[in-house]
Chain A
Amino acid sequence: MVEAILTGALALVLLAMILAGVRFVAGPTTVDRVIALDVLTVVSLPLMGLIAHLAGRSIYLDVALVYGLLSFVGVLAVARYLDGGLS
């Protein structure tokens, strides 16, 4: 029962990633693409948590933490570039 509900949640999260990926491909401006990238990252953190639970390995939570950190820095860098660089 628990596994079935968690698999359903996994499918829903994957569907969310597909929707954000469509916006990532289609987004008319660069800011839209960066938003979609940010959402893809935030959605993939619980996805990694679910995979960690289903696989029974807690190392994936460390992967999620490092991935979130690096993507946050990446989003900040791109936004800073769009804002006019370091001037």
Chain B
Amino acid sequence: MNALDLIGVVLVALGAVFLFIGALGVLRMPDCYTRIQAGTKASTLGAILSLAGIGTLNPAWLGKALLVVVFVLLSNPVSSHVLARAAHAAGIKPRGGSERDDLTTEPDREGSSKKTGGMS
């Protein structure tokens, strides 16, 4: 086992752990906003680490693996943002303890007047 293999294996194992933690958060978190949080952040880091590890284990594939990494890095925050926005538009309320809801109470935002009195 040379040094490159060691680095790649450590990266892949760390990424798999992060992916597992992310999926566990998706299963265990109480409402859908926290599920978005757990599911996208941890699994993005896990995917980046795992794919970087695969690219390190096979240096000939490094470009292709980094392409997938860049794509995950670009697409996952966008999809989580859009999903949170859709959840808010669908009228799903955060579980108790979330005091602040800027998307509803922000004064200059159009189209949100139908959802007044949602939180607080």
Contacts and interface: CB of A to CB of B under 8 A. Distances in A.
Nearest to A49: B54
B54 A13 contact: no
Given A16-B19, A22-B27, A50-B12, A43 B47 contact: yes
Contacts, number: 172
A65 B54 CA distance: 14
B87 A31 contact: yes
Contacts of A8: 13, 16
A29 B33 CA distance: 12
Interface residues of B, number: 50
Interface in A12-32: 12-13, 15-17, 19-20, 22-23, 29-32
Contact of B50 (A5, A17, A22, A50): A50
Interface in A38-83: 38-39, 42-43, 45-46, 49-50, 52-53, 58, 61-62, 64-65, 68-69, 72, 75-76, 78-80, 82-83
A16 B23 contact: yes
Contacts of B51: 45-46, 49
B1 A83 contact: no
Interface residues of A, number: 49
Contact of A29 (B32, B61, B67): B32
The B interface, classified by DSSP as helix, strand, loop or mixed, is helix
B60 interface: yes
Contacts of B92: 29, 31
A83 B27 contact: no
Given A35-B32, A38-B83, A43 B64 contact: no
B43 interface: yes
Interface string B45-57: 0110011001001
A28 to B, nearest CB: 9
A50 B72 CA distance: 16
Contacts of B54: 46, 49-50, 52-53, 61
